[in-house]
Amino acid sequence: MASTARRTAAEIADEVVDSFSECADDRLRELLQALVTHLHAFAREVRLTPREWGSAMQILAATGHLTEENRQEFILWSDVMGLSMAVDALDDDRDPRTTESTVEGPFWAPDSPRRDYGQSIAERPGGMPLWMHGRVLDVDGNPIPNAELDIWQNGPDRLYAVQDPAAPRDHLRGRFLTRADGRYALLGVRPTPYRIPDDGPVGAMLRVTGRQSWRPGHIHVAVSARGYRSLVTHIFDRDSDFLESDAVFAVKPSLIKRFEMRNQSDPERPERLHDEPWCSAEVDFVLALQGAGSAR
């Protein structure tokens, strides 16, 4: 006679975990079984109701509807829940002398234009000019020539070009190569704090939970060079608001830099600037050799 005992939630979880036992890919099997274990444990811990489960499915569906090439709402969920930075921390086995990494964020776009040393990344006027320069080095202080810096940032309207249909496609982004001495230079604009996109499910969650949606002013930089580990990081403006309350938890003290105010008569004023006030930031990036782990 068949048992009439009802399956418990824990027994259902065990069955699902066991369903992956024949997966030939060891890592995939580990990931899925652990995901099921923790997901079901969460549901049991909070005694998830059918109504709450249904709301969660609606939120996921709404997230999918919003996600497209220029709007990565799933990445935004990961960012505001701190998961992106947790993964970054788990992968951070670099030599402590290297530049720290942080999240890529949802606004990177492929195929940024190649730009010459010192060239402006602004395709239209606006904002305070920022002369950003420095070197790309190895951990022993040796320059790395032909390293590529992929730069992208928001403008004074608090938008990235991928968010603004009226902006030129390549506005405030570009790729630069270092010179033989490892030096790079570019002309951008001083970044402003901005709200992460809050017109979708992520924004709704932040509002209902009393969280703020602002990010401090920063510039995104991805650095790569043959034979070295690639780096994705931010440079934060030391004088920006929200450094202590970044909506995506991405601020690291070592990445906070001084953006020094300069004036028209400054002898170091780049030739591309005319009569307007400007600021400058000198930032070096230090890369680890490919395959090199922590020296700690």
Strands (E), 17-74: none
pLDDT at 63 over 90: yes
* CA gap 135, 103 in Å, rounded: 22
**Above 60 in pLDDT, residue 1?**
no
Residues 158-165: what's their mean pLDDT?
A: 90
Mean pLDDT (whole number) for 204-231: 97
pLDDT at 249 over 80: yes
Rg, Å, the chain Cα set: 23
pLDDT for 235 beyond 70: yes
| Mean pLDDT along residues 61-83 | 92
Domain 78-287 sits in which CATH superfamily? Aromatic compound dioxygenase (2.60.130.10)
Predicted pLDDT of residue 2: 60
Which residue ranges make up each domain of the chain?
9-57, 78-287
pLDDT at 70 over 80: no
What percent of the chain is modeled with pLDDT above 70?
97
129 within 8 A of 278, measured Cβ to Cβ: yes
Rounded CA-CA distance 257/182 in Å is: 20
Whether residue 295 is predicted with pLDDT greater than 70 in this model: the reply is no
Using a 10 angstrom Cβ sphere, with 0-12 exposed, 13-18 middle and 19 or more buried, the burial of residue 84 is buried
Q: Summarize the confidence of residues 10-36 as an average pLDDT.
A: 97
| Chain position carrying tokens 């290297």 | 98
Residue 226's Cβ-count burial label (10 Å; 0-12, 13-18, 19+) is exposed
Distance CA 46, CA 35 (A): 17
pLDDT category, 140, cuts 50, 70, 90? Answer: very high
Torsional sign, CA 116, 117, 119, 121: positive
State what percent of residues in the chain have pLDDT above 90.
80
Q: How confident is the model at residue 294 (pLDDT cuts 50, 70, 90)?
A: low
Q: What is the pLDDT of residue 293?
A: 60
Cα–Cα dist 146/130, whole Å: 23
Which of 292 and 16 is assigned the larger pLDDT?
Answer: 16
Give the per-residue pLDDT at 19: 98
Could you tell me the two tokens for 133? Answer: 């320069």
Positions of E strands within 59-178: 129-138, 148-153, 173-177
pLDDT at 260: 93
Kind of pairing between the strands at 231-237 and 256-257: parallel
**What average pLDDT does the chain have?**
93
